[in-house]
């Protein structure tokens, strides 16, 4: 990344995020900037981008649903976030210029201010670094783009090559409306000048609003250069105004992730049918079938295979493990004891469910309709059919029969089940915890156990089978 690091100036970067608007077209009670893209609030994407940009300070302008919006992003900054996050309120909302005016008391004069919108989630950090670079710390830099249909956007008006103004759609002359270069809503501007220009804004325009975009005229009048940094990628400046646009951007985001994974060597059965809502890390020769959803932090080891229709959250799957179709894995917080671990060469599913704290060793087999929670299974242990293991410690090579369950909950407390190495638990057993099954023992099918079992023994706890010879079934009365 040395190339992009060179673009960073010595001037501190302070980010301002406009997020006071209502978002009427979402037709939702949830404030627009809290709608989720790839599992994160739109505004969180923007704040995380600011974090990656190594902003000194991020100021979010809130209005509609302010309390909810502030609570949602507070203390939730990206992993790289080492900045000061603060909020200013804008009530009522009198336009983008009025919004940024609210930040004046908290903006320091020595910074360069990058203005972003809370509903434009997919701007890339290197684009913003380039924008900051072209601003040079003393110019007004506008991020622009050419749109075949520029309707609704502010137009970049130039004299020759030199930017003169941004004219909003509703204020534009027919000739100006033909301009296809539009303002993206993103700019980089020296704080000191910005403050002076904000003080000069008025609302004498078609919408009766204070337009942030009017500062371009003031810059020109003051002899400060205005530079346009034009990009090609519309996704980076696309805003979310409706559920349709949200879904479009979700797909655009997922495509980016899918392409990056494939470039790294991951085989995706269909890049259009993958959803990553967090961080998916893959070693060499991983393959992922269709319709898989990954959440939180998921690590897939070398050669790991994920079958179709799996949901995997906060889990580390070791090398050559196979996750068969329709498996549901839901680990707790990454790095915590509740994250799920699947050992090398393990076979999981189809239709398996691994819950928080499932720790499976190498070559463990978990079959269909088996649920594992807060349990450790050592190398080679198997639970192949219709079973529950909760709060259990399971030794190497244990075979846990179909339909068996750990009765781990007495209605008040959870208790532990210990199944030592090489135990065979028959089908349909109930192991009432706390209980320890001694190594090498066998438990007869259908047993309900509430006492520890000795090593190497056969333990059976069920009514003895009897047969009554020549039994006559009752006859129906005539």
For ligand UD1, the binding residues (CB under 6 A) are 18-21, 61, 63, 90, 93-96, 98-99, 117-119, 153-154, 166, 168, 182-185, 211-213, 239
Q: What distance in Å separates the CA atoms of residue 398 and residue 394, rounded to the nearest whole number? A: 7
Q: How far is the CB of 207 from ligand UD1 (least distance, A)?
A: 8
Q: What distance in Å separates the CA atoms of residue 470 and residue 478, rounded to the nearest whole number? A: 23
Distances (CA, A) of 11 to 109, 113, 114: 11, 10, 12
Count of alpha carbons within 13 angstroms of residue 81, beta-carbon side? 19
Distances (CA, A) of 27 to 111, 140, 243: 38, 36, 9
Residue 472 gets which letter from DSSP? P
Q: How many CB atoms lie within 10 A of CB 304?
A: 25
The tokens describing 135, both together, are 């601003």
Q: What distance in Å separates the CA atoms of residue 339 and residue 313, rounded to the nearest whole number? A: 9
Residues in the chain: 478
Nearest to 69 by CA among 88, 53, 82: 88
Q: What distance in Å separates the CA atoms of residue 239 and residue 254, rounded to the nearest whole number? A: 16
Secondary-structure breakdown of the chain: helix, strand, coil percentages, each rounded to the nearest 5:
20, 35, 45
Q: Is 154 or 190 the residue whose CB approaches ligand UD1 more closely? A: 154
**Helices (H), ranges, 166-242:** 174-177, 191-198, 215-221
Which residue among the candidates 365, 385, 415, 424 is catalytic per the annotation?
Answer: 385
Q: Is 117 or 408 the residue whose CB approaches ligand UD1 more closely? A: 117
- DSSP one-letter string for 61-111: EEBTBHHHHHHHHTT---TT--SEEEEEE-SS---HHHHHHTTGGG--TTS
Q: What distance in Å separates the CA atoms of residue 362 and residue 378, rounded to the nearest whole number? A: 7
- DSSP one-letter string for 455-469: TT-EE--SPPP---T
Q: Catalytic residue at 133?
A: no
List beta partners, residue 226.
140
Q: Is 124 or 291 the residue whose CB approaches ligand UD1 more closely? A: 124
Q: Is 48 or 168 the residue whose CB approaches ligand UD1 more closely? A: 168
Q: Is 59 or 406 the residue whose CB approaches ligand UD1 more closely? A: 59
List beta partners, residue 329.
312, 354
Q: How far is the CB of 136 from ligand UD1 (least distance, A)?
A: 23
Q: Is 73 or 360 the residue whose CB approaches ligand UD1 more closely? A: 73
Q: Is 69 or 383 the residue whose CB approaches ligand UD1 more closely? A: 69
Q: How far is the CB of 24 from ligand UD1 (least distance, A)?
A: 11
Residue 474 gets which letter from DSSP? P
Q: Is 99 or 219 the residue whose CB approaches ligand UD1 more closely? A: 99
Structural contact between residues 186 and 114, judged by C-beta atoms closer than 8 angstroms? yes
| Residues that are catalytic | 385
């Amino acid at each position: 990344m040395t190339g992009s690091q060179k673009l960073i100036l010595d001037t501190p970067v302070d980010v301002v995020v406009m997020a006071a608007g209502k978002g009427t077209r979402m037709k939702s009670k949830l404030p627009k900037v809290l709608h989720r893209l790839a599992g994160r609030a739109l505004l969180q994407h923007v704040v995380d981008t600011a974090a990656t940009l190594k902003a000194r300070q991020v100021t979010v302008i809130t209005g509609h649903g302010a309390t909810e919006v502030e609570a949602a992003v507070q203390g939730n900054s990206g992993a790289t976030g080492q900045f000061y996050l603060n909020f200013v309120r804008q009530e009522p909302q009198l336009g983008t210029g009025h919004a940024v005016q609210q930040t004046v008391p908290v903006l320091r004069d020595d910074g360069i201010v990058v203005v972003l919108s809370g509903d434009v989630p997919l701007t890339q950090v290197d684009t913003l670094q380039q924008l900051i670079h072209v601003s040079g710390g003393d110019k007004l830099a506008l991020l622009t783009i050419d749109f075949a249909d520029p309707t609704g956007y502010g137009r970049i008006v130039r004299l020759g090559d030199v930017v003169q103004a941004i004219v909003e759609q509703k204020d534009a002359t027919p000739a100006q409306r033909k301009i296809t270069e539009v303002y993206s809503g993103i700019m980089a501007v020296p704080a000191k000048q910005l403050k002076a220009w904000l003080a000069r804004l008025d609302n004498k325009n078609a919408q009766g609003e204070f337009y942030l975009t009017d500062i371009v005229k003031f810059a020109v009048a003051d002899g400060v250069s205005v530079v346009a940094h034009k990009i090609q990628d519309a996704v980076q400046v696309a805003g979310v105004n409706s559920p349709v646009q949200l879904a479009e951007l979700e797909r655009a985001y997922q495509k980016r992730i899918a392409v990056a994974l494939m470039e790294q060597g991951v085989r995706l059965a269909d890049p259009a049918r993958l959803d990553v809502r967090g961080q998916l890390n893959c070693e060499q020769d991983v393959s992922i079938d269709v319709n898989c959803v990954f959440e939180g932090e998921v690590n897939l080891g070398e050669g790991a295979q994920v079958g179709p229709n799996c949901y995997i959250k906060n889990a580390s799957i070791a090398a050559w493990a196979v996750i068969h179709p329709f498996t549901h894995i839901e680990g707790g917080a990454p790095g915590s004891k509740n994250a799920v671990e699947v050992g090398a060469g393990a076979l999981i599913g189809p239709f398996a469910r691994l819950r928080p704290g499932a720790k499976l060793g190498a070559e463990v087999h978990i079959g269909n309709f088996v649920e594992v929670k807060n349990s450790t299974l050592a190398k080679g242990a198997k639970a192949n059919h219709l079973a529950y293991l909760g709060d259990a410690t399971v030794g190497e090579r244990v075979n846990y029969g179909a339909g068996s369950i750990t009765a781990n909950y007495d209605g008040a407390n959870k208790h532990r089940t210990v199944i030592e190495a090489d135990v065979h638990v028959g089908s349909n057993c109930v192991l009432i915890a706390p209980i320890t099954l001694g190594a090498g023992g066998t438990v007869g099918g259908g047993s309900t156990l509430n006492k520890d079992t000795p090593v190497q023994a056969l333990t059976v706890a069920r009514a003895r089978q009897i047969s009554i010879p020549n039994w006559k079934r009752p006859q129906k009365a005539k």
